[in-house]
Structure 1
Amino acid sequence: MTCSVLVGGAWGDEGKGKCITYLCDNDKPNIIARAGVGPNAGHSVEFNGEKYGLRLVPSGFMHTDAKLLIGAGVLVDTDVFFNELDYLGKYKLKGRTHVDYRCSILTEDHKKRDKGSEHLFKKIGSTGSGCGPANSDRVLRTAKMAKDIPELEDYVSDVALETNEAIDNGEDVFIEGSQGFALSLYYGTYPYVTSKDTTASTFAADVGVGPTKVDEVINVFKAYITRVGEGPFATEISQEEAEKLDIEEYGTVTGRRRRVGLFDMDLAKESCMINGATQIALTCVDRLYPNCAKTQDYSDLSADTKSFISDIETATGVPVTIISTGPDLKDTIDLRSELL
């Protein structure tokens, strides 16, 4: 039985939603816990032919036997939370989805301050969801907590206690992080970053899990890199060049067009080092190598694809164990058994 943390390797948008969906549907963990900043990050999920965009509820929701928990380190927008419960109604989230009573609550004032900030909204490129001001209020000890909100009364719990008891009882726990390593307040391209740390260590702390209880850290990279908002981007290419590669993407939360760049080996190496990655999941391989689309067996990958994967493993010292070759769950090559 394991406790795994999934983390984005770059500036978000790495395909974490697809990886989380695959791993939770395949491995069926007992608890799926959401870590990260809050509703300023979206995960795109495709399951049984339907597409979902989520900002708070864990992306492994389709595993209906799992508890879905939101850790104390995550900012909660009650409107987003209840909208997603209704939106995913057929998956019977009510009764198994809980928010840690210590979560800070996002308010309309936080959103107003975010969007009204020349620095945050216009220079940094904030999503305007209020997360920066809300985290500022938490630091100032003026933020409201989930336990103080009557409408959340039936949805609050002690997520840290539930998660640790599950681990101690030999159950599987899956912690899904949001955003990406290069958006970390400490290790990212400051000041063009999000409002807290976004590494695996902090994701574990977000749900109350100590470092000795984490077994696996899965670092997710896209076969190319994208970024929404301002900030340095060493391997960026023009949108015209991206279009020639048939790459055009838009942010799940903001709808803004993503900047596109080539895979950055130096960034990948640093990301794996600081996150303590034990495995790499590589997504959108089919976008960079169309001849590999929907491939489900590693031996069927083209020689140049295998060479690219080998280069990543050599640079980072971390094995690539999950390879996504399409949006469908079945379009996944799973090499984890080779680690055993």
Structure 2
Amino acid sequence: MPALVLLGAQWGDEGKGKATDLLGGSVDYVVRYQGGNNAGHTVVVGDQKYALHLLPSGILSPGCTPVIGNGVVVDPSVLLSELSGLNERGVDTSKLLISGNAHIITPYNVTVDKVTERFLGKRKIGTTGRGIGPTYADKINRVGIRVQDLYDESILTQKVEAALDVKNQILTKLYNRRAIAVDQVVEELLVYADKLAPYVADTVLVLNQALENDKVVLFEGGQGTLLDIDHGTYPFVTSSNPTAGGACTGAGVGPTKISRVIGILKAYTTRVGAGPFPTELFDEDGEALRRIGGEKGVTTGRDRRCGWFDAVIARYATRVNGLTDFFLTKLDVLTGWEQIPVCVAYEIDGKRVEELPYSQTDFHHAKPVYEMLPGWSEDISKAKSFSDLPKNAQDYAKALEEMSGAPISAIGVGPGRNETIEINSFI
């Protein structure tokens, strides 16, 4: 079956946009299956840099149909702004499809997100404040607003009333905020109906028919494995399932149709937001990784926390996703270090642990056990094949491959579209 899942194998920000864009010319559909505009992809095409937040990276590939699946939560204003920005730069966005079953981020979802996070104080999760979590909560509580509801004002009004019945009580009595008027929200949402109408479709039907006709479909996850609501470092996670299983529910395709699962691994480790991070660096090395790697969140603008490569979480990602391949990104950032530490295990209460602990308490107390690998000083950004890399860079990649449990099929040696070494074809 010509269906592939591409996802982050760490805490997100691994370079999924570059990987998706690399494959974009070879696939017919690229599908976002979860998350919202809390995810960010940077894609560099020639001398042009594109920052995508909600749109699938495949929108930059002319022959590709980009799809926003039913598992995504959509902020209409952000989506339309992103489309407008791409149109102004000459990108054709007319092929975009949006699932009518995708849930909409309403103004009150954003309000609840911001006031709740502020109220938590030191216990805050580190959300982006874009209403993602509250929208998913509404979905599970069955008071969510879906894209298709924009086309039935009566249903839309009933659903907004149901959602605000409780939220206004919370906003006024707990947070001392002003109540939100139902009519105001309905009026604001209806403005988007005509603008989104050309893109709305039964994407489940479209994608399954495409697979039946031997089209190549790439499912693109936002965030990363360790931010998965079920399998991540809970509660410091996102509100959806970026892991491979999320592609099935978030796009409406069966697992038997997926032939390959590609994990994106950064050659070191980063994360944005709060939560445990065993290999995090607070010294000059951490600052150098941040500076050289340009580690600033695409969506949030926040500096990313930086640390050495963690093979424990890479092995975990291989297991929970059933990874068949890795795409190793940003290997070039490590150029210049004489020795590069790699976390091969954790020490927890004096014991060596080689697998990710299931206990939140244990993971908070995990200390990295490092193995030192020799570095390299040569510029690798012009390398076109694995043999072009310095021996120590080759050995570093081989060591990560062995520790992580899946073959590395591509290596990023720079930010550009062409700065990639392809070892094995993904398709």
Give the TM-score, by structure 2 length.
0.76
Pairing of 1:123-202 with structure 2 (within 5 A): 123-149=124-150, 150-151=193-194, 152-202=196-246
Confirm or deny: 8 A CA contact 2:71 2:249 kept in the other structure.
yes
Pairing of 1:245-260 with structure 2 (within 5 A): 245=289, 246-260=292-306
Quote how far apart the aligned CAs of 1:119 are: 3.2
Name the counterpart of 1:103: 102
Pick aligned residue for 1:294 from 362, 379, 382: 382
SS in 2 for 1:61: helix
Does residue 279 in structure 1 map to residue 325 in structure 2?
yes
Confirm or deny: 8 A CA contact 1:121 1:127 kept in the other structure.
no
Name the counterpart of 2:37: 39
Pick aligned residue for 1:204 from 248, 271, 276: 248
Pairing of 1:71-110 with structure 2 (within 5 A): 71-89=69-87, 90-94=90-94, 96-110=95-109
Confirm or deny: 8 A CA contact 1:114 1:120 kept in the other structure.
no
SS in 2 for 1:322: strand
CA distance in 1, matches of 2:215, 2:272: 37
Q: 1:197 to 1:296 in 2, by over 3 A?
A: same
Name the counterpart of 2:269: 225
CA distance in 1, matches of 2:394, 2:102: 43
SS in 1 for 2:57: coil
Question: Please, which moves more after superposition, 57-66 or 286-295?
Answer: 286-295
Q: 1:284 to 1:76 in 2, by over 3 A?
A: same
Structure 1, unmatched stretches of 5+, are: none
CA distance in 1, matches of 2:63, 2:92: 10
SS in 2 for 1:60: helix
Quote how far apart the aligned CAs of 1:63 are: 1.4
Confirm or deny: 8 A CA contact 1:239 1:260 kept in the other structure.
no
SS in 2 for 1:85: helix
SS in 1 for 2:298: coil
Quote how far apart the aligned CAs of 1:121 are: 9.7
SS in 1 for 2:124: helix
Pick aligned residue for 1:234 from 268, 274, 278: 278
CA distance in 2, matches of 1:209, 1:260: 36
Quote how far apart the aligned CAs of 1:222 are: 0.4
Does residue 69 in structure 1 map to residue 67 in structure 2?
yes
Confirm or deny: 8 A CA contact 1:4 1:215 kept in the other structure.
yes
CA distance in 2, matches of 1:279, 1:169: 25
Give the TM-score, by structure 1 length.
0.95
Pick aligned residue for 2:307 from 243, 261, 269: 261
Tell me the matched-pair count.
Answer: 336
Residue by residue over 1:238-289, the C-alpha shift from the partner in whole angstroms, topping out at 9 and shown as x without a partner, is 1532234544511111111100010000100000111110110000000012
Q: 1:115 to 1:239 in 2, by over 3 A?
A: farther
Residue by residue over 1:50-96, the C-alpha shift from the partner in whole angstroms, topping out at 9 and shown as x without a partner, is 111111111111211221110000000101111111111122112x1
Quote how far apart the aligned CAs of 1:9 are: 0.6
CA distance in 2, matches of 1:148, 1:20: 31
CA distance in 2, matches of 1:32, 1:248: 26
SS in 2 for 1:154: helix
Residue 193 of structure 1 aligns to which amino acid in structure 2? Answer: V
Confirm or deny: 8 A CA contact 1:295 1:325 kept in the other structure.
yes
Residue by residue over 1:147-173, the C-alpha shift from the partner in whole angstroms, topping out at 9 and shown as x without a partner, is 122232222101111111111101111
Pick aligned residue for 2:55 from 51, 54, 57: 57
CA distance in 2, matches of 1:13, 1:260: 11
Residue by residue over 1:128-183, the C-alpha shift from the partner in whole angstroms, topping out at 9 and shown as x without a partner, is 01000000000111111101222322221011111111111011111111000000
Residue 110 of structure 1 aligns to which amino acid in structure 2? Answer: N
SS in 2 for 1:91: coil
Name the counterpart of 1:313: 401
- Name the larger-Rg structure: 2
Residue by residue over 1:166-209, the C-alpha shift from the partner in whole angstroms, topping out at 9 and shown as x without a partner, is 11101111111100000011111111111122201112321111
CA distance in 2, matches of 1:247, 1:320: 21
Name the counterpart of 1:15: 15
CA distance in 2, matches of 1:120, 1:159: 40
CA distance in 1, matches of 2:120, 2:202: 36
Residue 116 of structure 1 aligns to which amino acid in structure 2? Answer: V
Structure 2, unmatched stretches of 5+, are: 151-192, 337-377
Q: 1:283 to 1:121 in 2, by over 3 A?
A: farther
CA distance in 2, matches of 1:121, 1:115: 14
Name the counterpart of 2:368: none
